[in-house]
Amino acid sequence: MSEERTMIVSKIERGTVIDKIPAGKSLQLIYMLHITGDEMKTVAVGIHVNSASMGKKDILKLTNRDLSGAELNKIWLIAPDAVISTIKDYQVSDKRPISSMRSGNEFEGVLKCNNPTCATNFNEPVKNKFILMDRDPLLVRCYYCDRVMIEDNIKDQLGM
């Protein structure tokens, strides 16, 4: 039995498993997904778990929790190779790499533009949209005003 199976308690009845998170990044994801511990839902966190393909990885098991499109975008920013499994009745009902659940380098619903004179900050009915330019360090560009935001700005907004 692998270390993961022995460590991450029992199977969950219903919920979501986020696997193949880069080692050490799961706590950031927990913050970004607003998992505070107050929801009375079981969360299992594996940090630096042995992985055949990654050497070390992190894994999150969230009971009774689904992910929204915006949350998928957040996970994709931090863990582009993550694999998302949906669990129903203790069985994996769906298992897909996050890269197949969204397309392109554009993403919505995660960040606000930090350019004070960007039109998206002025009561327009638009969704903020960004283009990922680089991941290490994170670098994104506002689709509307072209402002580039660096990792520090992004982390501030995401509460990382």
Partner 1 sequence: MINHIVSIKDIDKETILDIIQYAAKIEANPEVYAEKQKGKILSTIFFEPSTRTRLSFESAMLRLGGKVIGIADPKTSSLKKGESISDTIRMAAAYSDIIVMRHFLEGSGRVAAEYSSVPVVSGGTGIQEHPTQALLDLYTIYKEFGRIDNLTIGLLGDLRYGRTIPSLLYAFAKFNNVKIYLYSPQQLRARMTVLSDVEDKLEYRVEDNLEDTIDQLDVLYVTRVQKERFPDEQAYERVKGSFIISPDTLKNAKENMIVMHPLPRVGEIEYDVDDLPQARYFQQAKNGVWTRMSILDKLLEERK
Q: Residues 21, 77, 83, 113: which binds partner 1 (CB under 8 A)?
A: 113
Q: Residues 148, 155, 157, 158: which binds partner 1 (CB under 8 A)?
A: 148
Single out the segment in contact with partner 1 by CB under 8 A; choices: 13-21, 38-46, 81-89, 124-132: 124-132
Backbone angles phi, psi at 132, to 5 degrees: -75, 125
DSSP string, 15-38: EEEEEEEETT-HHHHHHHTT--S-
Q: Residues 23, 35, 44, 118: which binds partner 1 (CB under 8 A)?
A: 118
- # residues contacting partner 1 (CB under 8 A): 19
Rg of the chain in Å (alpha carbons): 17
Q: Is 136 a binder of partner 1 (CB under 8 A)?
A: no
Q: Residues 100, 122, 136, 159: which binds partner 1 (CB under 8 A)?
A: 122
Alpha-carbon span 107 to 129, nearest angstrom: 6
CA 123, 125, 129 angle in degrees (round to 5)?
Answer: 100
Residue type, 126: V
Alpha-carbon span 9 to 37, nearest angstrom: 18
* Cβ atoms < 10 Å from Cβ of 13: 13
Q: Is 110 a binder of partner 1 (CB under 8 A)?
A: no
Decide whether 44 or 118 has the Cβ nearer to partner 1: 118
CB of 50 to partner 1, least distance (A): 39
Q: Is 120 a binder of partner 1 (CB under 8 A)?
A: yes
Backbone angles phi, psi at 6, to 5 degrees: -75, -30
Q: Can you give the binding site for partner 1, defined by CB under 8 A?
A: 113, 115, 117-120, 122-126, 141-148
